[in-house]
Each structure stands twice: as C-alpha cells, then as structure tokens.
Homo-oligomer: A and B are copies of this chain.
Amino acid sequence: MTTGTPRRQPTLDEVAERAGVSRSAASRVINNAPHVSRAKREAVRRAVDDLGYVPNATARALATQQAGSVVLAICGDDPAMFADPFFAEVVVGINAVLEQTDLELMLLLATSSRGHARLEQLLRTHQAGGVMLMSLHGDDPLAKLADQSSVPVVFGGRPLTFEPRYYVDADNRGGARLATEHLVASGRRKIATITGRLDEGAGVARLQGFQEALAVAGLDNSLAEPGDFSEDGGAEAMRRLLARAPDLDAVFIASDQMAVGALRVLARAGRTVPADVALIGFNDIPAARHTDPPLTTVNQPIEALGREMARMLLTLISGNTPTPLILPTRLIHRASA
C-alpha cells in the first residue's frame, strides 16, 4: 500500500527474505501452523504488513490440490429461467454462509449444451471444491453423474428420477397437501390445480400433495392443468380450467407467478376471489401480498434453502457426511382463500 507502483504482487519468498526466515517458516505463519518461534512469527507478520502480501490463491490451490471455490449450477433449458427471483434469494442465502469462509462462489448457468459440457467437465476435473446443483429437468443424466462424482455435490431440490445422496429440499408435497386441505376444510368441493413443470421434482411433488389431500377427503382429484411456473402459463392454464370445469370453486396453483396470471383471468371472467373461487399459490413471493385480493400461499424458506445447501456442501468438503434436509413449508393465510 505504500509502494507507488504496486506492479507485481509480493511473493512468499520476498516475505521470507524480508523477515529473515525460510520460505517454509513464512508459509507456516501465514497458515497459522505450529512450529514457529514467537520471534519469527512476528517478523513474518511485520513483513506481510509492510509488503502488503496476499497469498496467491492459484498457487495455493495447485499445491494443496484443492480449489478455493464452489459452484452453483443452475440447469435447465431456458437461460431466462434464472430470472426467477427464486434463484436470487437462494444466492443470497448461499453467499451468507460462504462469506464466513474463504471460498468463492462461481455461477454456472448450465442452460445450453455448452454450459452442460462445462458443468460435466467441472465435475470431472477437481477444479471446484464442490458444486450445488439446482433445477435439474426431466431425466437429465447429469444428475446421476453428479451424484456419483468424486467432487462433493449437493442438490437443491430432488431430481425426478432418483434420490441423491445429499440434498436439501423444501417440503413441497406437505405444503401442497396443507394448502389443499385448507381448501377442503373451508367447504370447497370442486377443487382444481394448476401444476408446475412436471419434469421438475417440485412440480410433481406439489401435484402429489394436492392429489393426496383430495383423495383423503374423498374428492375428485383429477382436475389438473399443466402450467410452467410462469405468469402467462398460469393464465393459460386458468383459461383451460374454466372451460373444462366452469363450476370449480377453488384452485391450488403451484406457483405465485402462475396465481397472478390466474387472478387476471378470473377477474376478466367475472369471477370473484375468494367468493366464487378460492385460490392458493405457492412460494410466497413479495408480490403475493399485494395482489387483489392478497394471495393465500405456501411459504418456503428460500434463503434458508440456499444457506443449508451451502452449509451441507461445507460439511461434505470437510469430509463429514451430512444427512439430507427437508425444509418445512407453511401456509400463509391471506384473503384469496
């Protein structure tokens, strides 16, 4: 910080020389390792300060054979998918725990085939200390490959086709059941659902929860229209539902975004919410409290999801074996149901 032109970064050798110790000793001090006398320790510290030394992470990574970063990979087919505020909140959670370590976060949008290839490569070479995998679609073979990989991998949400070794997920099924039960309990009888993408674990789980609750109540659980988690998709599905069952009196919708779309369609069709038809969404996005009427919805702790994924990855990296985690979801009562 004192040099006029801090051209090249000082190296460990320079620190050692200035402190009058060997490189090994200097290294020990930097890494808080034992076997260094008090005097040398201080000399090195001083030299570090004077020179403004910062260890070269690349060299360290090469020497220790372990990377200084972990990656968050978002799979899927649509690059724009990442625009879902869901991911942003996950990232905030992840960042909160990574900040305590000195791991960096790499973001990989594995959305094109190029991205896919990169992810695969990342999994094979040990260039990242670990990876967090989210939003696998369909039967992406990457999922199994990742789960088997020798680099630590934790899944955010479960893929469709198998149960990964390490994952954190939200209780989508339980949340959906809760929501549907609430609809039943409030006297609704002709209850429909707009599903999420059914090539995603979350979409399927929410549909299952819905169906279970209705089956238990002895009601027809076949009134389902597929959506895609997006607002427009929700509107479309609502239109189809209305055409198919004009007398429905409630609908459980697998995402708030879709619910917003449905709300629009319902309003335009002259149905009052919740008088004519009750609505429950999923996710509890900020906008849900400001729709008309405010949306009853299932909250899932998204930031916590990110935090727990990161935490789990950390324990995995440290050599321990975490147990999978399912985060609770809960019903938020507002005016739409």
Query: Could you list which residues of chain A lie within 8 angstroms of chain B, going by C-beta atoms?
Result: 6-7, 9, 52, 54, 56-59, 61-62, 67, 69, 71-72, 79-80, 82-85, 87-89, 91-92, 95-96, 99-100, 102, 104-109, 111-112, 114-115, 118, 121, 124-127, 150, 231, 260-261, 264, 286-287, 290, 292
Contact = CB atoms under 8 A, between A and B. Distances in A.
A116 to B, nearest CB: 11
Contacts of A88: 82-85, 87-88
Nearest to A80: B92
A124 to B, nearest CB: 6
Contact of A83 (B92, B127, B150, B292): B92
A293 to B, nearest CB: 13
A247 B61 CA distance: 65
Given A58-B127, A99-B114, A292-B292, 14 more contacts: A54-B125, A58-B58, A59-B62, A71-B104, A72-B107, A79-B92, A82-B91, A82-B92, A83-B92, A95-B111, A104-B106, A105-B106, A105-B108, A264-B290
Given A58-B61, A69-B106, A9 B125 contact: yes
Nearest to A102: B118
Contacts of A80: 92
